Protein backbone atom coordinates (compact mmCIF):
# COMPACT_ATOMS: atom_id res chain seq x y z
CA UNK A 1 0.00 0.00 0.00
CA UNK A 2 2.86 2.37 0.74
CA UNK A 3 4.37 1.89 -2.71
CA UNK A 4 0.97 2.37 -4.34
CA UNK A 5 0.29 5.56 -2.36
CA UNK A 6 3.69 6.96 -3.26
CA UNK A 7 3.16 6.39 -6.99
CA UNK A 8 -0.59 6.48 -7.63
CA UNK A 9 -0.40 9.93 -9.27
CA UNK A 10 1.80 8.61 -12.10
CA UNK A 11 0.67 7.59 -15.58
CA UNK A 12 0.25 3.86 -16.29
CA UNK A 13 3.73 3.29 -17.70
CA UNK A 14 5.42 5.59 -15.17
CA UNK A 15 3.61 3.73 -12.37
CA UNK A 16 4.84 0.35 -13.63
CA UNK A 17 8.39 1.67 -13.98
CA UNK A 18 8.26 3.04 -10.43
CA UNK A 19 7.17 -0.34 -9.05
CA UNK A 20 9.98 -2.11 -10.90
CA UNK A 21 12.49 0.50 -9.69
CA UNK A 22 11.22 0.14 -6.11
CA UNK A 23 11.93 -3.60 -6.19
CA UNK A 24 15.11 -3.15 -8.28
CA UNK A 25 13.78 -5.42 -11.02
CA UNK A 26 15.43 -5.37 -14.43
CA UNK A 27 14.55 -7.54 -17.41
CA UNK A 28 15.54 -8.10 -21.01
CA UNK A 29 13.62 -9.75 -23.81
CA UNK A 30 15.48 -10.75 -26.95
CA UNK A 31 14.43 -8.77 -30.02
CA UNK A 32 13.80 -12.05 -31.88
CA UNK A 33 11.13 -12.93 -29.30
CA UNK A 34 9.47 -9.53 -29.64
CA UNK A 35 9.32 -9.96 -33.42
CA UNK A 36 7.01 -12.95 -32.92
CA UNK A 37 4.24 -10.70 -31.52
CA UNK A 38 1.67 -9.70 -34.17
CA UNK A 39 2.04 -6.13 -35.40
CA UNK A 40 -1.72 -5.82 -35.92
CA UNK A 41 -4.90 -7.63 -34.97
CA UNK A 42 -5.95 -9.12 -31.67
CA UNK A 43 -4.01 -11.65 -29.64
CA UNK A 44 -4.09 -13.03 -26.11
CA UNK A 45 -1.29 -12.82 -23.56
CA UNK A 46 -1.10 -15.18 -20.60
CA UNK A 47 0.76 -14.81 -17.32
CA UNK A 48 0.65 -17.52 -14.67
CA UNK A 49 2.29 -15.45 -11.88
CA UNK A 50 5.01 -17.90 -10.74
CA UNK A 51 6.83 -14.90 -9.27
CA UNK A 52 3.91 -13.55 -7.25
CA UNK A 53 2.54 -11.10 -9.79
CA UNK A 54 5.72 -9.36 -10.93
CA UNK A 55 5.54 -11.25 -14.23
CA UNK A 56 2.16 -9.62 -14.85
CA UNK A 57 3.66 -6.18 -14.21
CA UNK A 58 6.52 -6.95 -16.59
CA UNK A 59 4.11 -8.16 -19.26
CA UNK A 60 1.93 -5.06 -18.91
CA UNK A 61 4.97 -2.76 -19.12
CA UNK A 62 6.19 -4.54 -22.25
CA UNK A 63 2.78 -4.39 -23.93
CA UNK A 64 2.20 -0.72 -23.06
CA UNK A 65 5.62 0.23 -24.43
CA UNK A 66 4.84 -1.65 -27.63
CA UNK A 67 1.18 -0.63 -27.94
CA UNK A 68 -0.08 2.26 -25.76
CA UNK A 69 -3.72 1.17 -26.31
CA UNK A 70 -3.08 -2.33 -24.92
CA UNK A 71 -5.94 -3.53 -22.69
Give the pLDDT of the chain (71 residues) as one tens digit per residue: 899 999 999 999 999 999 999 999 999 999 999 899 888 888 888 777 776 788 889 989 998 998 888 87
Exposure string for 32-64, b = 16+ CB within 10 A, e = fewer: eeeeeeeeeeeeeeeeeeeeeebeebbebbbee
Amino acid sequence: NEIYDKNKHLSELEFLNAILDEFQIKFEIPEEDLKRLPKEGAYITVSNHPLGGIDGILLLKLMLEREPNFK
